Structure formats: structure tokens, C-alpha cells
Structure 1
Amino acid sequence: MKKLILLCLGLAMVRLGIAQDNSADAAVVKRVADYVVAHAAFKFTGDNNQTFNSSKEIPAGVQAKISDHLSEWHYPNGVLNVAMVDLGNYLKDGKYTNFAKQHIAFAFDNYPYFEALSKNGTKYKGFPFNQLINTKVLDDCGSMGASVIDVYNTLKRADYKAYIDKAANHISKIQERLPDGTLCRPGPYKWTLWGDDLYMSVPFLARMGKLSGDNKYFDDAIAQVKHFTHYLWDEKADLYVHYYYEDLKRQGVAHWGRANGWIMLAKVQLLNNLPANHPGRNEVIADLTQQILGVAKYQAASGLFHQVLDRTDSYTETSCTAMFVYSIARAVNEGWLDKRYITIAERGWEGLVKEKIQDDGQLKDVCIGTNTSADLSFYYNRPTALNDFHGLGPVIEAGIEIMRYHANNLPKK
């Protein structure tokens, strides 16, 4: 009887330890997410220094801007919205899902005011919701479009569906492509393939396939993964380069961290939505596995990854580390990757918590938005910004998957 009591007590302590560990992870994630909720005002600031709750309050002749970057319409906001929906669903806390709903509603309730001004020929510095009104490249619609679909799944507004269809039409029929169908951009040179654009297209296409039931979106998404690997994968380094210049038939010079992160994230979000019986699924898993094994070789002793992945004299960067942590932990949690690789994600998360996430929930060492460049020093010297919104969504997603793993895998005695 005494041995039985001790055994039960030991099991209880193990479970308590896991709960405490998971609670600690949850506290970190919520710290980041709560900072976002507290600092997104969803308001406008006028050039008369007044604040307006909606566009209806803006007086004639007053130029206004969105009050803060967390309330803007830009691709990192889409990444953040998706993460907040995922966090709300995982923690069963409506505060986080409501953030994404409020963000989308703020844009759709107010953009017609600014659209009307633009049609009247008004010149407006930093025009609010410009990327919502004028869709020209994948940055304008892919990431935000994915988040609109996530919100639309629980809030069936007709204007949301109209936008989703518009984004689908742009990606499928308007956005520039190479002759083989690879999505590309007209800049900075005609034509340029950006690693970033796999994320700016594939997560939306995957969701559109699921929403519409039309396999053409899944097929295009899988084709993009193949194409981007063909053009951007560097077999010698086992990493992706940032870009490919079609006019020179030449890859870029840098194995930029976040570009590799965008690519990995895109594959994971494709698998999140791809039907289990789709014939291309195993090929995507193999491609993801190849990338994970490649990037793992470049993890620093701190668990973090560098701005230029294969250059240890470049700074350790938060957003790419979080993207790798999320993707690897997600792959293990979903059974796409063997459990022995979870330690890569765990060490990465530990590095983020220890070195990059502040007590107030803000993030350190997030590389700001980045163009392409032919010289490696450009990537070395790219500035970081405190709490730059390129890092927020990925850090939240990383924390969710680490929590999932710890909750579902009790340590052996």
C-alpha cells in the first residue's frame, strides 16, 4: 500500500511539473499576445492631432492615418491575425480570436471612406488601407487574405467573401508568373522570385482550396512549393537563398533567415489544410523534412538562428527562429516528423524566452522589412526594431506548438 501511495504521488508530481512547465509557456505567449491586445487601438489620428474612432468622425479636409501599426492592413498583420485565432482556439479564450475579428472589421468598416477619397483624386501620404484598396502584388492580399478566410469561417460577412474571391482571382489569374507558372514579381528586376512570396501565396491558396472545395487551389499551392525549391534551394548549403533573378538566371547571395522561415511556414500551413488523401501531400512532407534537416545544422548554442543562417557573425534573429520553432514543433505534433527532432524546437523556444521576449511582452531583435540585394552586407546590416510586427505572429504560433507538445508528452520516469 505504501509503495502504491508513493507511486501515485510520484505520478501526480510529474503531472504537476508538466502543468507548471506548460503554464510557464502559456504565460510567455499570453504576455506577447496581451501586449498586442492592449496596444492595438483600432482608431485614426488626424493631422489636427485629434483621434477618431471611425472614418465617419473624420471632418472634411482633415487627413488621417491609422493610429498604430498593429491596426494597419499589411502582410505581418495577417500573420498576427492567424496566430491570434490559433491562440484563442487553443486556450479557448475569445479575447484573442476577437482581436482578429476586430482587426478585420475595422478595415472593412472604414476602407470605403478612403477608397472614395482616392477615386476623387485626393493625394494622401500613407493612404490608410492602400493594400486593401489597391491590390498589385502578393504582399497586398495573400497573408491578409488568409486571415480573412480564418475570420470568415466563423463570421460570414458578404464583403469578406467578396474580398476573398478578389484575392483568389488576383493570385490565380493576375499576379505575374514565370512561363512555368512560378509566382514572381516585376521588381526590383523583371522578373524576381522572392522566397517570401511562398508564404504570401500558399497559405491563402491552401485555405481557398478548403473553403471552395476546388482542388485547383491545392494543386497550385503544391506546384509553387516545387517551383520555389527548384529555383531557390542551395544544395551545397542545404538552405534557401532569398531570391532568384530571372533575367540573370542567378540565385541571390544570402541565406536570409526570415526568407527561409517564410518558406518553411508556407509548407506547414499548406499541410494544415491539405486533404489527407491528396496525392501531393507526401511530397510536401518530404520537402519540409529536407528543409528542417538542413536548417538544423545552423542552430546556435543558444538555440537561436542567425539573420544570415550560415554566418555566425550575423546577429541572432527573432522572427526566423520563431518560424522554425513553430514549424518543427508543428511537424512533430502532427506526426509529419519524428519526435526526436523536437529538441531543435525546444532549444529554439528556450532561446527566445531567455534572450528575445521581454517581461512586458515586447520582442527584441526582429529584422525589419527587407528588400533583395546583391551584396551580403545588406543582410548583415539590416536593422532590427523593438517589437517589429514581423515577429509577433510567429512567436505566438511557436509558443502554441511548444505548449501542445508538452501537454501531450509526459516525461518518462
Structure 2
Amino acid sequence: MKKENQKWMKWPLGIILCIFAFSSCAENKYDLEHFPKDADPIIVGTRLVNRFLEQPHSQYGNPLRINEPRVNITYPDVCAWVGGLWFAKSVDNKELTNRLEERFLPLLAEESRLQPVPNHVDNNVFGTLPLELYMQTGKEEYKKLGMMYADTQWQLPEEGYTPEQKKWSEHGYSWQTRIWIDDMFMITAVQGAAYRVTKDTTYATRAAREMVFYLDSIQQGNGLFYHSPEAPFCWGRGNGWMAVGMAELLRILPEDNTYRPEIMKRYLKMMNKLKECQQENGMWLQLVDDPSMWEETSGSAMFTYAMIVGVKKGWLGKEYAEAARKAWLSLVKYIDENGDMTNVCEGTNVGFTQKYYRDRVPLTGDIHGIAPMIWCAYALTCNDL
């Protein structure tokens, strides 16, 4: 018998069991594959997608606006819808995939009036949805519709634009540029999807160049982002849009893309600061860097998603796996008995005082909260991000 084995045999059994228990616990905190049943990403993700499907189209995600007439499909629904398609494919749930597609079909027929007018970042992101459906089904009508939204985001319309929008277009940026933090998901999502569909690097490069412009405009020295140049506050969900936007863009950008190194550097800088700002229970706050603020779920879920992607892609070390696991385990506790997320910041314009962000209503059932939780469930279950 080897000497090291003989040494173990001399130790009391209780001590040996404690050592192995401690070792198992230490490994577990980095584990992004095994969770308690109430936090199982397949169970949670399925529940949330079903919850999304059983509700009518929302009005900018807000459950308090349920009785307002629907003018078009709004971006929170698009985010949940696309996430649902990702998740259903990841867990091979064809029934969910079929239901998500069936929900879309009326938009090509009797509900076509709900297709958004392609004149704003919040509208053009709709194109991500038919493009994802095309990638999963191969149906050309989905591709045609989605590419229209990707292309019109860079094509200055013949009329109805402002001098500033014309300026952005002449400089090679989207005419829909406005330097609000939300844009770096809304613009890059549809352009990234167009690149994945066509393999035309024009779409990837224009999205990356736009991203670097926004990084130079509103990222602060500590890695966080102001809501806009005029709103010097590090709003949680706004920073979430940026975190996910960078993660998603880095997922699809070719390794030799000119802008990739800068985006990666800025992403890593943001992730490092987010890890510092994470609360002891795993959550993040309504203003990320203000410890007096309330815990907010949509931004927290977005940060969690960006970290899961980074860990799985090898961009981030295991300490981020620990942060992501802690966040996920905390976030699932904010799902109520109906399958709704609680503590979701209501839809938010740029604000000019700290009080404005503090006083935003924390809603239950806002789609802004369900969407990034579905993304997290997808990321945790996907083996080929």
C-alpha cells in the first residue's frame, strides 16, 4: 500500500468525511451544470417560456398596460421570444419550438399590422425574431422579413429623418444611432443575426464598429456605463443591455475582426467591475454602483447571462462561474407562484437625477424580467454557445 494511502487510513473517519465534504462544497460553487431542483435551468426555463406563451402580446413588457391597444410587437416580447427559441432548441423541446413559431405565424397574416415600422432601434430589433426562426426552420419568408429590418437600420429613409440622423448615416453608423445604452443590444442583435444568416461580414463589422463608438462614448473608467451622455447614472438594466450586447457580439464576431480586441477588452473591464458590485446574495442593484438602491432582477439576469457566456467561451475565469451561479440561485427566488419575475424595473427613459432611478416602480410580471431569465436558462443548458 502506498504511503499516502496509509496516512489517510490513520485519520479519524469524521475528519476525512469533513475534508471531502468541504472539497465538494468548494467545487460546487463553480458548478454551472448541477443545481437544486427549484433552480434547475431546464425546469425554470420551461416554466418561464410557458408563462410567456400563455400571455397576450405585451405593451413594452408592462403588465399594468395590459388593456392598452397593441400598435406593434414591442422589444421585450422579441427578447423573450428569441430567448425561448434558443432555449427550446438547446433542450430539444420541439413542442415549445412549435408553439413559439405558431405564435409568430399570425404576424405574417391577420396580425401583420403588428409588424413594427422599421424606424427606431426598439422597432428594428424585431428582425432578430424572424431571422432566428429562419435559422431554425429554413423558411424563406422569415429570412426576407428579418433582413428587411437589418438592412433598413443602415439605409437612411427618403424622408422623415433628422439632420443628426443624416450625420450618423454619412459617417457610416446606423441612422438610428442615439447613444443610449439600450441601443447596444437593439442594434447589434439584429445585425448579428443577419450576419449569422448570410455570413456576410458587412453586418458583423457594422455592428462591431457601432459598438466601439458607443464604448468610447459612454463607458466609464471603472468599466460601467452611463445611461446616455446626458444621464450620468449607471442604470442596472441599461448596463445589462450593454453586457449582453457585448457578449452576443463577441460570440459571433470572426476572430480576425478589426474591432474584436477592443470589444473584448471593454467587456472584460465591465465584467470585473460587475463582480465587485455584486451583492453578497448574488444580486445587483437598480443603480449598479449605488449601495443604497434596491435589488433589481432584469439587470441582474442580464449580467448573469453575460458571465455564463464568458465562462463557457473561456473568456472569464472560474471566479465568474461562482458569481454567475450565486446570481442564478438568487434570481430564481424572485419567480412568484404564477411564473412571473418580481422586482423588475419598469420601462425607463433617461433620467437626470438619482431619485428618478430610485423611484422607478419595481413591477411583477414585466417581460423585461422574464426575457433575460430565459436567456440564462438557455446559456446554462447549451453545450455549444
Using the size of structure 1 for normalisation, the TM-score is 0.74
| Cα 1:182/1:232, change in 2 over 3 Å | farther
| Cα 1:133/1:231, change in 2 over 3 Å | closer
Find the residue that maps to 2:277 and give its secondary structure.
Answer: coil
Equivalent of residue 242 in structure 2, options 260, 263, 282: 263
Deviation per CA, 1:312-333, whole angstroms, max 9, x where unpaired?
Answer: 2221111000000011011101
Question: 1:35 is matched with which residue?
Answer: 51
- Structure 2 gap segments, 5+ residues each: 6-19, 59-67, 158-164
Distance in 1 between residues matched to 2:34 and 2:276, nearest whole Å: 31
The question of 1:81 aligning with 2:81 is answered yes
Distance in 2 between residues matched to 1:147 and 1:133, nearest whole Å: 12
- 2:208 alignment partner AA: I
What is the deviation of 1:266?
Answer: 0.9
Distance in 2 between residues matched to 1:309 and 1:207, nearest whole Å: 29
| Cα 1:388/1:41, change in 2 over 3 Å | closer
Using the size of structure 2 for normalisation, the TM-score is 0.79
What is the deviation of 1:95?
Answer: 2.8
Structural RMSD (CA):
2.9
Find the residue that maps to 1:302 and give its secondary structure.
Answer: coil
Deviation per CA, 1:272-292, whole angstroms, max 9, x where unpaired?
Answer: 222344343333222211111
Question: 2:121 is matched with which residue?
Answer: 138
1:392-411 counterparts in 2 under 5 A? 392-403=370-381
What is the deviation of 1:164?
Answer: 2.0
| Cα 1:174/1:111, change in 2 over 3 Å | farther
Q: Please identify which structure carries the higher strand content.
A: 1
Distance in 2 between residues matched to 1:182 and 1:375, nearest whole Å: 30
Distance in 1 between residues matched to 2:92 and 2:74, nearest whole Å: 27
What is the deviation of 1:182?
Answer: 4.7
Equivalent of residue 167 in structure 1, options 149, 165, 189: 149
Contact 1:325 1:349 in 2 (8 A): yes
Question: 1:243 is matched with which residue?
Answer: 228
Contact 2:235 2:357 in 1 (8 A): yes
Question: 2:64 is matched with which residue?
Answer: none
- 1:378 alignment partner AA: Y
The question of 1:233 aligning with 2:212 is answered no
Contact 2:87 2:377 in 1 (8 A): no
What is the deviation of 1:42?
Answer: 7.3
Contact 1:238 1:294 in 2 (8 A): yes
The question of 1:372 aligning with 2:350 is answered yes
The question of 1:359 aligning with 2:375 is answered no
Contact 2:131 2:147 in 1 (8 A): no
Deviation per CA, 1:333-387, whole angstroms, max 9, x where unpaired?
Answer: 1112222321111111121123x11233111011111111222211111112211
| Cα 1:195/1:181, change in 2 over 3 Å | farther
Deviation per CA, 1:140-172, whole angstroms, max 9, x where unpaired?
Answer: 112x21121100113344443332232122211
Distance in 2 between residues matched to 1:372 and 1:20, nearest whole Å: 39
1:198-217 counterparts in 2 under 5 A? 198-217=184-203
Question: 1:154 is matched with which residue?
Answer: 136
The structure showing larger relative contact order (alpha-carbon pairs under 8 Å, at least 6 residues apart) is 2
Runs of 4+ in 1 over 4 A off after TM superposition: 17-20, 179-185
